[in-house]
């Protein structure tokens, strides 16, 4: 069992001599709701930013607490049990000052179903003006509580299809993190740390963030970036022409463009396009496009209730049999078997 790390936020006796000086700083209170099977690395990444901020200042700036939904003992995605400070039913929030930020911690195996207890807690926090956040797919919980309608959020790529189908009034970002005045969401472990650093910058300024980055050895010139791209096509190291072609492919999944159309729209010759894909992606344009469409299909199969025929059409296949053959060749399992496997897992989880 991993015990709570509360003692880490005390200033170490040998703290850096250049510790930042602050005058009567306001303590920021942060709560973390740990869902069963939450991502431990995403949670600790976010927490480490707060702990390190306390270490590099003369007076601790942050207080944090953890909460389970039904139990004080919560299992992480690594199978490690974490002892929390309490459960959300005992979370006494009567004034905004009682808590400044409340973050729902998700993970790859976290349930995507609505939880009444969690909904009640989040809505009560929203009414008090408490800023809400989500790690990995924690934004799914915020959406279930109706707290993301008309807003943009970040979520793990595997949950994009589920979010778009289940919450049509929520804008799912292609970026790994999204910050707004009252929300903070990110899609995974790396972006969890980056999200917290950007929150630190908003709350306490750039000087503190630079000090924290120095300690965590993550100062890679990311301070000026608003987000980190999710897709390979956003990789700035790739040629602009190649990124443009990949973007065209992403935007035309259900009605695929021909290679001739892709070449014409991107302003390159077909032969040049083939060379770009071979040199930088070790693939051909047609193969990459097919894999993109099949990956989209797999997400629809595992996260939505659309029929296999509709999934095939939404992924650019006019023939269900052709779709099934391509899918099985790529993933080693048929679309119907994939759907059955998902149903079986849900039945076991229930």
SS3 (DSSP) at 152: strand
Across 272-278, average pLDDT:
93
The answer on pLDDT for 5 being more than 90 is no
Percent of the chain with pLDDT over 90: 56
Edge-to-edge strands, sheet with 183-186? 86-87, 62-68, 28-34, 101-105, 131-135, 183-186, 177-180
The domain 232-349 having CATH identifier 3.40.50.1370: the answer here is no
Q: Which residue has the higher pLDDT, 94 or 8?
A: 94
**The pLDDT of residue 70 is above 60:** yes
> Which range is least confidently modeled, 21-25, 30-34, 207-211?
21-25
**Of the ranges 68-82, 94-108, 269-283, which one carries the lowest mean pLDDT score?**
94-108
Task: Give the pLDDT confidence score for residue 219 in this predicted structure.
Answer: 40
Domain ranges of the chain: 6-216, 232-349
Topology, domain 6-216? Rossmann fold (3.40.50)
State the pLDDT confidence band at 281, using cuts at 50, 70 and 90: confident
Asked whether the CA dihedral 266, 272, 278, 283 is positive or negative, the reply is: positive
Residue 2 pLDDT more than 50? Answer: no
Strand partners, 135: 105
Q: What is the mean predicted confidence (pLDDT) over 77-82?
A: 92
- Check residue 116 and give its pLDDT: 95
Q: Are 311 and 345 in contact (CB under 8 A)?
A: no
pLDDT at 301 over 60: yes
Under the banding of pLDDT at 50, 70 and 90, the label for residue 317 is very high
- Per-residue pLDDT at 298: 87
Asked whether residue 307 carries a pLDDT value surpassing 60, the answer given is: yes
Would you say residue 332 has pLDDT above 60?
A: yes
**Coil, helix or strand for 76?**
strand
**What sign for the dihedral angle of Cα 326, 328, 329, 330?**
positive
* C-beta of residue 57 within 8 angstroms of C-beta of residue 20: yes
Q: What's the pLDDT band for 107 if we cut at 50, 70, 90?
A: very high
């Amino acid at each position: 069992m991993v015990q709570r790390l509360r003692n880490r936020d005390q200033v170490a006796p040998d703290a850096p001599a250049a510790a930042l000086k602050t005058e009567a700083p306001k303590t920021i209170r942060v709560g973390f709701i740990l869902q069963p099977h939450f991502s431990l690395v995403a949670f600790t990444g976010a927490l480490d930013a707060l702990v390190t901020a306390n270490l590099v200042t003369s007076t601790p700036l942050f207080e944090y607490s953890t909460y389970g939904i039904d139990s004080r003992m919560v299992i992480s995605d690594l199978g490690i049990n974490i002892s929390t400070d309490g459960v959300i039913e005992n979370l006494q929030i009567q004034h905004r000052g009682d808590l400044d930020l409340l973050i729902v911690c998700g993970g790859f195996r976290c349930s995507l179903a609505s939880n009444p207890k969690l909904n009640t807690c989040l809505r009560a926090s929203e009414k008090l003006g408490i800023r809400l956040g989500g790690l990995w797919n924690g934004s799914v919980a915020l959406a279930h509580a109706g707290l993301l309608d008309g807003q943009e959020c970040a979520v793990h790529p595997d949950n994009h299809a589920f979010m778009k189908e289940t919450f049509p009034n929520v804008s799912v970002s292609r970026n790994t993190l999204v910050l707004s005045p009252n929300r903070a969401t990110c899609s995974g472990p790396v972006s969890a740390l980056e999200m917290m650093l950007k929150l630190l910058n908003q709350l306490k300024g750039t000087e503190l963030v630079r000090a924290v980055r120095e300690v965590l050895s993550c100062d890679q010139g990311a301070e000026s970036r608003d987000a980190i791209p999710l897709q390979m096509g956003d990789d700035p190291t790739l040629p602009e022409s190649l990124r443009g072609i990949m973007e065209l492919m992403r935007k035309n999944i259900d009605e695929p463009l021909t290679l001739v159309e892709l070449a014409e729209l991107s302003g390159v010759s077909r032969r040049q396009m083939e060379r770009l894909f071979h040199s930088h992606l070790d693939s051909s344009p047609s193969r990459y496009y097919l894999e993109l469409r099949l990956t989209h299909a797999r997400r629809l199969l595992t996260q939505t209730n659309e029929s296999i025929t509709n999934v095939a059409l939404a992924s650019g296949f006019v023939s269900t049999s052709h779709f099934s053959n391509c899918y099985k060749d790529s993933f080693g399992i048929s679309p119907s078997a994939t759907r059955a496997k998902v149903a079986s897992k849900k039945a076991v989880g229930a």
